[in-house]
A and B are shown apart, each in its own frame.
Chain A
């Protein structure tokens, strides 16, 4: 067969293979270099001096690592509309019994406080990252971002809003982490 005639078909065959491969890739998911590594060393002042944290420390990696277990770390800001969209999902995760630490990213403390006062507070405690220094250490480039931490190590990073359709994935992931943790015990 004359090669010229089958070139279009061959080009398409190659394209088809790539598209098929593309279906199993997740272009929106940008892998974090922190996966399977300990959390970056971070100590942040508390947004509010609550019952739990009379020390004035809102977020401390050492404390979380020492306590161990499964926690979520959520970077948010009151100026970020997607964070508002995400908020109900966090409240739901809290209801399911997950511990979520909040980090108010480049936000005025009073605004960050108003945000949780008005919309409900899903967080165990909130650290204030006024200048975004912690954000840099954690590799955050757009809030909201959520990290899943197991015994002080980052096991997963969710980029952007936790949408309704992400909830299943996240819950499955958390369930898996929980059971693997229990098995170890």
Chain B
């Protein structure tokens, strides 16, 4: 019965969402405070109902209730607990329920933490948020019901895809969705601002934490997916420019632009309509990504079961949400006051260039991703656009971005003195150029671009530190520790955000250009040299697991004659469903990852003697770990910046408590 209650709860959440969508908006239009006040409790109520519904499905998953179609398809009684739960969002219907839950969650968060907002703005934001929710509830109730029963029901589930049973992948979708859906909040704020015709510093201050939160989640989600692909799929790649990867990368890029342009609105009250447009676009890309993944319009390795009926539903929803908001933008953007002017050399300009480069990047990724569809629609030709296109177009665009980043953070608002900044940075610039030249001559191959990228990465690291030292006044009198403590969290946010990005750039450059690869058969006792290590194949043994058989190889890794570590990669062959997976073995060092993959045994003739050999791939992924470390530092930066803003979100809450205390004291 609980499954039916769960289904019913979705319907009830839908009706609450309808109330929340219509009444507060109506109230805000007429200035009716009582109607506007309705938004908060209803938003929280809506969350309670979806949570119940979500909980009901989890409960059914945990109990392996195979009378539910969704559970038959995506779970199995032998699955470990974690993967029973993650089975829920590994499929279209379940992940939609998660989307709906997160939309309601963010709505409730705005209701709870947004008490400091003007009532009319908050009501409108919650109303828009509920409108988006309505779309998802309708989707769940019409074409994608995760609570559907089956009769007669099977004894066992079918979903035991071993590739997907991995912690990296279990948490990848929820974080990604938190990011995608998190962008709905800035979207709702942008639409509400267009309706009210008012965008000011306060508005930007309310929007920015939500955009930052979404950015943090999106970053974590993308990194988890990339990390999983890297160590689980066994080809040592971390990004393939697949349409579905691009679908998550585009909102990330727009969101990155948004959190920067919102600073300009906050500090200088300019670039307002641009920021509004970014907020609309960021969430639009989230929805577009959903459409790309689930409608089957593009071929991708990330296949959700696709269905044209769903495609039409999402497209209709896309049209209503994006088309509606852009129409509103066209009609109302004039109501927004023009901002203050700024000089061509100023921090505003720096941030504007950053935005333009990021958006050009988005346009390039967007075009490359959808080009196969455009061509097919126009001429019927089938092509695919792969990594070479993006490496030639998107990647070079990031070069000026990084160079300007180093400069722009040192520029003052409104009008900056370029000469002073240039003279401050000339040593750093010289050092970076020198380092690039030295790297160029020490590399075995003439890889000019790699050297340039290393130089750029170093430039950004040094410039970021130089800016921090200037801010805390290093070298001037005063207690250094106190000066460090006095820095606002936002400074640390920027410092770690930029530093992490620079380190990730160094890692990407290293792993893309200086990695080594060995791919051949190996017999027992054979040795190879790779990446400064000596790897010896000691042999392999067969293993039998619960539902698979495996070959496990043993490799000894030596550096300068000393044994560093022993690695045991395996390849597993599962019986139901038939599938083989590689369990790569990794040895991580700052210098690079040693990554070994083994495949099944073969017998070949060596000197007329039958010898057993194994297919082996060994990679040395140069500086790979820098990429992950850089990304983690970026997330830390986002959290620092967020904690600075939360202070602001918390202010109204504190005053509320203060008021309550006063009332109590008055008694």
Contacts and interface: CB of A to CB of B under 8 A. Distances in A.
Interface of A: 1-2, 5-6, 8-9, 12-13, 15-16, 18-25, 27-28, 30-31, 81, 84-85, 165
Given A12-B322, A27-B296, A30-B382, 16 more contacts: A5-B334, A8-B330, A12-B284, A15-B370, A18-B373, A19-B291, A19-B318, A19-B373, A20-B315, A22-B373, A23-B308, A25-B297, A27-B298, A27-B373, A27-B382, A81-B579
Contacts, number: 76
The 4 closest A-B pairs by CB, nearest first: A22-B297, A9-B326, A21-B377, A6-B330
A24 B382 CA distance: 14
Given A1-B330, A85-B577, A8 B315 contact: no
Interface in B294-341: 295-299, 305, 308, 311-312, 315, 318-319, 322-323, 326-327, 329-330, 333-334
A25 B377 contact: yes
B155 interface: no
A4 to B, nearest CB: 9
A8 B297 contact: no
B376 interface: yes
A18 B318 CA distance: 13
Summarize B's interface: helix, strand, loop or mixed.
helix
A27 B322 CA distance: 25
B92 to A, nearest CB: 13
Nearest to B309: A23
A21 B284 CA distance: 19
Report the interface size class on chain B. Answer: 35 or more
A16 B577 contact: no
A25 B284 CA distance: 23
A85 B376 contact: no
B373 A23 contact: no
Contacts of A16: 315, 318-319, 323
A89 to B, nearest CB: 14
Nearest to A22: B297
Given A20-B315, A81-B580, A12 B372 contact: no
B315 A19 contact: yes
29 contacts: A5-B329, A5-B333, A5-B334, A6-B330, A8-B326, A8-B329, A9-B323, A12-B284, A16-B323, A18-B373, A18-B374, A19-B291, A19-B297, A19-B373, A22-B295, A22-B298, A22-B376, A23-B311, A23-B312, A27-B296, A27-B297, A27-B299, A27-B372, A27-B382, A28-B296, A28-B299, A30-B382, A81-B580, A84-B578
Secondary structure at the A interface, as helix, strand, loop or mixed, is: helix
B589 to A, nearest CB: 35
B370 A18 contact: yes
B1 to A, nearest CB: 30
A23 B315 contact: yes
Contacts of A6: 330
A120 B550 CA distance: 25
B494 interface: no
Contacts of A27: 296-299, 372-373, 376, 382
A147 to B, nearest CB: 19
A77 to B, nearest CB: 14
Q: Considering residues A1, A12, A13, A16, which has the most beta carbons from chain B within 10 angstroms of its beta carbon?
A: A12
Nearest to B295: A23
B374 A12 contact: no
A114 to B, nearest CB: 15
A27 B299 CA distance: 6
B435 interface: no
B277 interface: yes
Contact of A25 (B318, B327, B373): B373
A165 B304 CA distance: 13
A25 B305 CA distance: 16
A9 B311 CA distance: 21
Nearest to A25: B376
Interface in B562-580: 577-580
B267 to A, nearest CB: 25
A64 to B, nearest CB: 29
Nearest to A16: B319
Contacts of B319: 16
A5 B373 contact: no
Contacts of B291: 19
A84 B372 CA distance: 30
Contacts of A12: 284, 322-323, 326
A9 B578 contact: no
Nearest to A85: B578
Contacts of A30: 382
Nearest to B308: A23
Contacts of B330: 1, 5-6, 8-9
